[in-house]
Amino acid sequence: MPQPVLLSDVGKVLIDFDFSIAARRLAERCDHPAETVLNLFEDIKGPYEDGRMNDETFVREGMAVTSFRGSRQEFETIWCEIFTQNEPMHATLTALAGKLPMYLLSNTSGLHKDYFLRTFDIFRPFQGGVYSYSAGCSKPGEEIFHQTITQLDLDPARTFYIDDLEANIETANRLGFRTFHYSFAKHAQMQAELDEWLAGQGIG
C-alpha cells in the first residue's frame, strides 16, 4: 500500500518569483524597454515549459527575439535569477525531513528546474518530482497528474498536495488528492491543516 506523501508545487509555494527582475536586466542588454520585453517570449515560453523546445533552442530564440547583447551564459543567468526562497515553508519542510517522502510537481523549464534545485536549501528534503518540460504536458491538465501518480507510486487519498493556483487544486481534488490552496499569507493555516493530516496518517 502506498505510504503517505507530501506533494508540492514550486513557484509561489516553495519559492517566489518575479519576472520583472529579468525584464529590467534584459532591457539593459537589448533595445526593448523593461515594460514590454517579456512580451517577446509569448510564443516560446509555453512550448519551452511543455517540453516542445529544449534549453538550447529556447536560449537561442530568446536571444534572437530580444536582440540580446551578451553571451548565452549571461542570458541564462538573467533568466534564472528571479527566485527567492519561502522561509516559513523552508522551516516547515525541514522539520518534516525524513518523516515522509516529499516530491515536486511543477510547470517549469529545464533551466529553471536545474537552477532552483542547486540554489535553494528548501529543495533538499525532496526525493524527486515530475516537471512539465520533461512530462510533455502541464497543469491543470489531468495527464501530468496521472503521470505523477504512476511514476511516484502515489495514492492520491494519502497524498497532501499544495499548489497556489485554483485550477490546479481543482484537478487534484477531482483525482482524489488531499489539497491545500496556498498563498504566502495562508502559511499558518496550511501548517495547521498539514499537522492535522499528518497526525491522521500516524506521523508526528
Taking the alpha carbons at both ends of the chain, their separation in whole angstroms is 20
Q: Which pLDDT does position 2 carry in this prediction? A: 74
pTM of the predicted structure, to 2 decimals = 0.96
- Beta carbons of 11 and 86 less than 8 angstroms apart: no
C-alpha 192: how far from chain center: 23
Q: In this predicted structure, what is the pLDDT of residue 135?
A: 97
For residue 34, the tally of other CB atoms under 10 A from its CB is 15
Burial of 135 by CB count in 10 Å (0-12 exposed, 13-18 middle, 19+ buried)? buried
DSSP secondary structure of 148-197: HHHHHT--GGGEEEEES-HHHHHHHHHTT-EEEE--GGGHHHHHHHHHHH
Tell me, what's the pLDDT at 1?
66
Phi-psi region of 203 (alpha: psi -120 to 50; beta: other; left: phi over 0): beta
C-alpha gyration radius of the chain: 18
Q: Helix count (H) and strand count (E) of the chain?
A: 10, 7
Please list, in sequence order, all residues whose beta carbon lies within 8 angstroms of the beta carbon of residue 1, skipping any fewer than 6 positions away: 155
Nearest to residue 63, comparing CAs of 39, 29, 104?
29
**CA 138/CA 145 separation, integer angstroms:** 9
Distance of CA 111 to the CA centre of its chain: 12
> Is 105 exposed, middle or buried (CB count within 10 Å of its CB: 0-12, 13-18, 19+)?
buried
Q: What is the pLDDT along the chain (204 residues), one digit of tens a residue?
A: 679 999 999 999 999 999 999 999 999 999 999 999 999 999 999 999 999 999 999 999 999 999 999 999 999 999 999 999 999 999 999 999 999 999 999 999 999 999 999 999 999 999 999 999 999 999 999 999 999 999 999 999 999 999 999 999 999 999 999 999 999 999 999 999 999 999 999 997
